[in-house]
Amino acid sequence: MNQANKSSPPAIEDPRKRAMLLAALYLAQEQHGWLSPEAIRRVADRLELSTGQVMSTASFYTMFKLEPQGKYHIQVCEGLSCYLVDGAETIIDHIARRLKIKPGQTTPDGRFTLEVVQCLAACDLAPALKVNDELYGHMTLESIDTLLEKLERS
Amino acid sequence: MPTVNITIDGKKIQAELGQTVLQAARAAGIHIPVLCDHPALPPEGACRICLVEIEKQRALQPACTFPVTEGLVVETHSQRVMAARKFTLELLISDHPLDCMTCDATGDCLLQDLAYEYGVAGDRFKGKQHHYPITDPNPFIQVDRNKCILCRRCVRACQYINGVEAISVFYRGFNAYIGFGADGNMQDSPCEFCGSCVAVCPTAALWPKMSIGKGRPWQVKKVDTICSYCGVGCKLTLHVKDNEIIQVEGAWDGPANRGWTCVKGRFGYDYVHHPDRVKKPKVRRYLLEGKKKSRKGNAWEWVETDWDTALDITARRMLEVRKEAGASSLGVLASAKCLNEENYLMNKFARQVIGTNNIDHCARLCHSSTVAGLAISFGSGAMSNSIEDVTGQAQAFFVIGSNTTEQHPVIGMRIRQAVRQRGAALIVADPRRIDLCDFATLHLQHKPGTDIALLNGLMYIIIEKGWADEKFIAERTEGFEEFKQTIQQYPPERVSQITGVPVEQLYQAAEILGTAKPMAALWAMGITQHTTGVHNVMSLANLQMLTGNMGIPGGGVNPLRGQNNVQGACDMGGLPNVYPAYQPVASEEARKKFEAAWGTPLSPEPGRTVTELIPDILKGKTKALYILGEDPVMSDPDTNHVRECLEKIDFLVLQELFPSETEPYADVFLPGVSFAEKTGTFTNTERRVQMVRQAIQPPGEARPDWEIIRDLAVRMLAERSLNPDAPYAGWDYASTSDIMDEINALAPSYAGITHERLEKGESLQWPCPSTDHPGTPILHTKGFTRGKGKFMSIDHVPPAELPDPEYPMVLSTGRVLYHWHGGQMSRRAKGLLEIYPQALIEISHEDAEKLGLNGTKRVRVSSRRGSIEAEAMVTDRVPPGMVYANFHFPEASANELTIAALDPLAKIPEYKVCAVRVESLK
């Protein structure tokens, strides 16, 4: 836990400990982009829950990452709109071939993780994808290449 | 509870408001099938097998969660319901191994039963199937996720029964599975291997590894008995096939455990079958050759012999010693692990046959201070309440000097349940941060040996704040004024100084203890094993009188007795100063009663204790000992001195199961049998007398201990003539039931407790003065045994040996969950030894750093008595300045270091405090 996340929280009372679990996990994940065993343990200690319970909750949600993620977490939407505009499949294929990884994997240099996600609710921008918290819309193979080059250089 | 009228399958039933349809059906004897539900666990509503059709409900409803209301109409087996159940089963079976032929759960599998009933063959749905590897390496429980139906019974058992919450469901949908800790191996999780999960698992997903392939449920003979480990007295069901125990379960109707067990009871039974079991009597060669005793060379060789020879030699030698040096030069050690009936015989053997009151046993080492202390305060030295009312009704628990979750695990579980589910308060007073502190309201981490100051300090505040129960004090006690004067010397500041407990915590604790009612005080070795043990106990009696918590459910003084039958061994007169049922040896009336019964004059002088008998060997006062089921070399303090003494004894007869650490000093070894090989009774810590039943035949020529004692007595009495009118002079017992008849006649508190009543299913706690008396769950309800309870004025006195510059640290000693005392049984249980293979020394992080401990972390711990080397366990359980060692392993036993400083009244050693030096071994 870094200082910002640790600073002056009020004493946590039962039974609201469990209610804070999702938020706590989200904060913990923000630190390093994933929930390491150490992070799980710290959340458990802080909320006075067992590591099993915390891990059980964390593993339930795909948004909680239990493995280290790349610096750039590419989330390609495969919702209906993105799929129908001849988007999702093609885009996923293209990025996968370019980065030489399969969806769900991270490049060996730790720079990119490719994930296929459900609807990003950006149907007016279909086909859409996110890189970390940034949303990119109306993607074409060229704009994807440009984006990847920019990220590779940074 | 208000009732409602409902109809299930056309049958009109009265149900309680607040019940579910399933509970109402069960109560009315109507069967609704379930998979995820279990009567001992909260409902889950996961499996959808208990779906029922309820009038006015559109969808089918799970009976396990649907609450009853007035006028409810339920169909449990309508066509719609049957079709839904079958569908669910088809789905479950579509991803389940169809290997019933080799599956251990065949014949004992809920899923199999339902598949049979609903005609589910597994051919309806084809799809992805799981193929999990079976890899969990722990020695006790096999985890086969392929057979898991995700009913979550195990998750709930671990959460609500044991409470360590080691099991969770990870991921979801098709990827969901049961995992342990943070999704690792069971032994890396908080799991304590109590096996509650195994007990409730409906399939073979969780199965005891030791039982795999050993037998089918219909090939097995089931025998109910009582556990041979601790004083909780869990009722167990042994599964026996071909004279082997192949599985152990907790019995659901066990009064103390209600079906639950700990790792030792459930998985530590294989010591019974260990090849080390001695199968023939043996004697030292010098005895066979009629030579003088020599512990050197051939003369000291063990020679196996037949029973007649061994018993003849034993009787002859004992009679010789008695003739040469007098009856009081002999001593008898009864056994807290043997049956009541056997302990009674040992008491009769010592007193009638030998003519001495030198009978004692290991209670001396553990709760002799409790017995003595409570006898003075109340007139009676036993746990006043029952496990059921204490764990079920106490508003607050005061647990002092007891590592309950490790030493009395099932009671620990029940306390945890009370705290978590009922909201009871828990105050733990212990120098170590034990597991119990994890769910304690307050942990008073006082310095070892400062219990009196702590208790007096708490009582000071209770009196100051007006929380004392004045009515109770006035009506039921005496000595209050003098006691109050003493308490005034213990204001919070002084107490905080002595104990190290912050003043604020003293006030917090006192408030809970003084205002929560009923409040139960529980204790064990942390209170008793001190030079001030008796005074520690009396202080607790003071506390419970002060707060008016005596004689009421949920309150009381609750010393947790250690061994499976230490309570019984005491009750049966296995003590030097009392006959059975605590009738004093010094009382002329009592003595005359037993003289008349046994037909011979008896010695009026109380005998010597274990902690005196053995050191007295060197003084020439003890010439011979007959030891039953006890290992003084492992259990007594100052091992080197014990060995020194036993080397010099004239004649030592050892009757037990294994070649223990005491065996090298024995002249004769008589092989007795385990709890599974004889029938009789044990008495647990709540004074409950329970049936122990023979399940298997003993190995080789080992014989039931009561028969051995009997045959020895007959030989030794051969030359004597006892009074022919004495009704109980003889030893012609054909069964332990015969012995119990004699106990009924001579021990008033056991007078109404017979094998017959117990076999009929009655559950009896003494005192039970007649065969129509129901037994006594709570003592001192109307008056104390001595009339009024006596307040005792007790002052703080420090322990005998505190740290000094040469030995700068405190050593405290005790046990761990996985082993039992000297380890003769638990080290011979394969799984227990595997999971905890060596002695560990607990040391704090600060001290570890100061010592420069890293790498293999081996240390040498030395005291003025001796020295041991073992691996250090760096932990925050012990405070800086203290180390903690156990006495389970002879290679590194804590008792090499402990001091034989005794409480002056109880003669109990101060195992809990002595001074040591710790060095790191490179």
Nearest chain B CA: its distance from A143 CA (Å)? 35
Half-sphere exposure at residue B412, Cβ-oriented, CA atoms within 13 angstroms: 27
| Residues of B in Cβ contact (< 8 Å) with A51 | 181-182
Beta bridge partners of B670: B655
Q: What is the C-alpha to C-alpha distance for residues B819 and B840, in angstroms, rounded to an integer?
A: 12
CB atoms B168 and A60 under 8 Å: no
Yes or no, beta carbons of A50 and B166 under 8 Å apart: yes
In this model, does residue A4 exceed pLDDT 90? no
Percent of chain B with pLDDT over 90: 97
Q: Which residues of A touch B189 (CB under 8 A)?
A: 52
Q: Examine the pLDDT at A87 and tell me if it is beyond 80.
A: no
B170: left (phi over 0), alpha (psi -120 to 50) or beta: beta
pLDDT (tens digit, 9 = 90+) per residue, B695-745?
A: 999 999 999 999 999 999 999 999 888 888 899 999 999 999 999 999 999
Residue B191 contacts by C-beta under 8 Å, 6 or more apart in sequence? B138, B158, B164, B166, B167, B180, B181
Alpha carbon of A60: minimum distance to chain B alpha carbons (Å): 4
Chain CA centroid to CA B125, Å: 50
User: A59 contacts in B (CB within 8 Å)?
Assistant: 170-172, 183
pLDDT of residue B394: 97
pLDDT at A88: 87
Across the interface, whether the CB atoms of B165 and A55 are under 8 A apart is answered: no
Q: Inter-chain contact B182–A60, Cβ cutoff 8 Å?
A: no
Comparing CB atoms, the residue among A37, A41, A55 nearest residue B168 is A55
What phi and psi, each to the nearest 5 degrees, are found at residue B53? -95, 125
pLDDT over threshold 60, residue B667: yes
Q: How do strand A134-136 and strand A129-131 relate by DSSP bridges? A: antiparallel
Asked if pLDDT for residue B368 goes beyond 70, the answer is: yes
- Measured in degrees and rounded to the nearest 5, phi and psi for residue B719 equal -85, -15
Q: B135-158, pLDDT tens digit by residue?
A: 999 999 999 999 999 999 999 999
Q: Beta-carbon neighbour count of residue B481 at 10 Å?
A: 9
Spatial distance between the Cα atoms of B460 and B471, rounded to a whole number of angstroms:
18
Whether pLDDT at B657 is above 70: yes
- At residue A86, the pLDDT reads 76
Of A10-24, A104-118, B465-479, B649-663, where does mean pLDDT reach its minimum?
Answer: A10-24
Cα–Cα distance for residue pair B435/B148, rounded to 1 Å: 30
Residue B766, CB-side half-sphere exposure with 13 Å CA sphere: 30
> Is the CB of A56 less than 8 angstroms away from the CB of B170?
yes
B770: confidence class by pLDDT, cuts 50, 70, 90: very high
Query: A53–B165: do the CB atoms touch at under 8 Å?
Result: yes
Mutate to test the interface with B, among A18, A43, A51, A64 (most CBs of B within 10 A): A51
Rounded distance, CA B278 to CA B708, Å? Answer: 15
Binned at pLDDT 50, 70 and 90, residue B856 comes out as low
Determine which of B152, B162, B169, B171 to mutate to test the interface with A (most A C-beta atoms within 10 Å): B171
Is residue A1 pLDDT above 70, yes or no? Answer: no
Residue with tokens 């279990």: B38
Four-residue CA torsion sign, B452, B453, B457, B463:
positive
Q: Shortest Cα distance from A152 to chain B (angstroms)?
A: 33
Average pLDDT value for residue range B611-621: 96
Cβ contacts of residue B696 below 8 Å, gap of 6+?
A: B240, B243, B244, B245, B272, B676, B677
- Centroid of chain to Cα B219: 31
**Dihedral of the CA atoms B132, B136, B137, B140 (nearest 10)?**
-120
Q: Rounded mean pLDDT of B270-299?
A: 96
B833 close contact with A: CB closer than 8 A: no
Find the helix packing angle between B705-717 and B307-325, rounded to 10°: 50
Model confidence over B60-116: pLDDT tens digits?
999 999 999 999 999 999 999 999 999 999 999 999 999 999 999 999 999 999 999
Among A40-49, B644-653, B660-669, name the one with the lowest average pLDDT: A40-49
DSSP state of B270: G
Q: Are A54 and B182 in contact (CB < 8 Å)? A: yes
Does residue A7 carry a pLDDT above 50? Answer: no
In what helix (H) or strand (E) does residue B651 lie, and over which residues does it extend? strand B651-656
Across A112-116, B782-786, B799-803, B855-859, least confident range: B855-859
**A51 vs B182: CB contact, 8 Å cut-off?**
yes
Residue B870 CB partners (closer than 8 Å, separation 6+): B838, B839, B840, B841, B858, B859, B861, B885, B889, B891, B892
Q: What is the model's pLDDT at position B696? A: 98
Give which of B430, B454, B456 is closest to B443, Cα–Cα. B430
CA B283 to chain centre: 34
Residue of A nearest to B167 (CA): A52
CA distance B560 to chain A (A): 29
Residues of B whose CB is below 8 A from A41: 182
Closest residue to B165, CB basis, from A40, A52, A59: A52
Residues in chain B with CB shorter than 8 Å from the CB of A60 are 170-172
Residues of chain B found within 8 Å of residue A56, distances taken between Cβ atoms: 168-170, 179
Is the CB of residue B404 less than 8 Å from the CB of residue B225?
Answer: no
CB contact (8 A) between residue B166 and residue A55: no
- Find out whether A131 and A114 touch, Cβ atoms under 8 Å: no
Using a 10 angstrom Cβ sphere, with 0-12 exposed, 13-18 middle and 19 or more buried, the burial of residue B493 is exposed
Q: Measure the CA–CA gap between B795 and B215, rounded to whole angstroms.
A: 60
* Distance separating alpha carbons of residues B416 and B425, to the nearest angstrom: 10
Residue for token pair 């009612």: B517
User: Is residue B815 a contact partner of residue B264, using CB atoms and an 8 Å limit?
Assistant: no
- pLDDT of A5 over the 70 cut: no
Q: What's the gap in Å between the CA of B138 and the closest CA on chain A?
A: 18
Measured between CA atoms, the residue of chain B closest to residue A40 is: B182
- The nearest CA of chain A is from the CA of B177 a distance in Å of 10
The reply to whether A36 touches chain B by the CB within 8 Å rule is: no
pLDDT tens string B549-598: 999 999 999 999 999 999 999 999 999 999 999 999 999 999 999 999 99
With 0-12 CB in 10 A as exposed, 13-18 as middle and 19+ as buried, what is B864? middle
CA distance A86 to chain B (A): 29
Contact B453, B499 (CB under 8 A): yes
Q: Which of A6-15, B44-53, B107-116, B133-142 has the lowest mean pLDDT?
A: A6-15
Residues 6+ apart with CB under 8 A from B601: B595
Q: Determine whether the interchain pair A52/B171 forms a contact, defined as Cβ–Cβ distance below 8 Å.
A: no
Amino acid at A25: L
* Alpha-carbon span B167 to B173, nearest angstrom: 18
pLDDT at A3 over 60: no
- The rounded percent of chain A whose pLDDT value lies above 70 is 90
Specify the 3-state DSSP secondary structure of B169: strand
B182–A52 CB contact, under 8 Å: yes
B residues 144-183 near A, CB within 8 Å? 164-172, 179-183
Local structure of residue B396 (DSSP, 8 states): E
| Residues linked to residue B67 through DSSP beta bridges, in sequence order | B20
Instruction: For B501-541, write each residue's pLDDT tens digit.
Output: 999 999 999 999 999 999 999 999 999 999 999 999 999 99
How far does the CA of residue A55 sit from the closest CA of chain B (Å)? Answer: 6
Residues 6+ apart with CB under 8 A from A122: A77, A128, A135, A137
pLDDT, averaged across chain B: 96
- First-to-last CA distance in chain A? 27
Contact B801, B812 (CB under 8 A): no
Complex ipTM over 0.90: no
Give the N- to C-terminal CA distance of chain B in Å, as an integer: 68
Q: Does A40 reach chain B within 8 Å, measured CB to CB?
A: yes
Question: B876 in contact with A at a CB cutoff of 8 Å?
Answer: no
Contacts of residue A40 in chain B, CB cutoff 8 Å? 182
B165, B169, B179: residue with CB nearest A50: B165
Q: Return the residue matching tokens 């001849």.
A: A86
Task: Kindly give the residue spans of alpha helices, DSSP state H, lying in B95-214.
Answer: 110-117, 153-156, 196-200
Distance from CA of B153 to the nearest CA of A (A): 15
Q: How many A-B residue pairs are in contact by the CB < 8 A criterion?
A: 41
**Residue B753: alpha-carbon gap to chain centroid:** 22
- Residue B707's nearest CA partner among B660, B751, B739 is B739
Residue A6 reports pLDDT greater than 80: no
List the single residue in B164, B182, B190 with the smallest CB-CB distance to A55: B182
Residue A26 CB neighbours (<10 A): 13
Place of tokens 């001593």: B331
Q: C-alpha distances in angstroms, A6 versus A17, A49, B253, B810? A: 16, 17, 50, 37
Is the confidence at residue B436, as pLDDT, over 90? yes
Distance from CA of B904 to the nearest CA of A (A): 45
* pLDDT at residue B23, rounded to an integer: 95
**Residue B96: partners with Cβ closer than 8 Å, 6 or more residues away:** B111, B122, B146, B147, B149
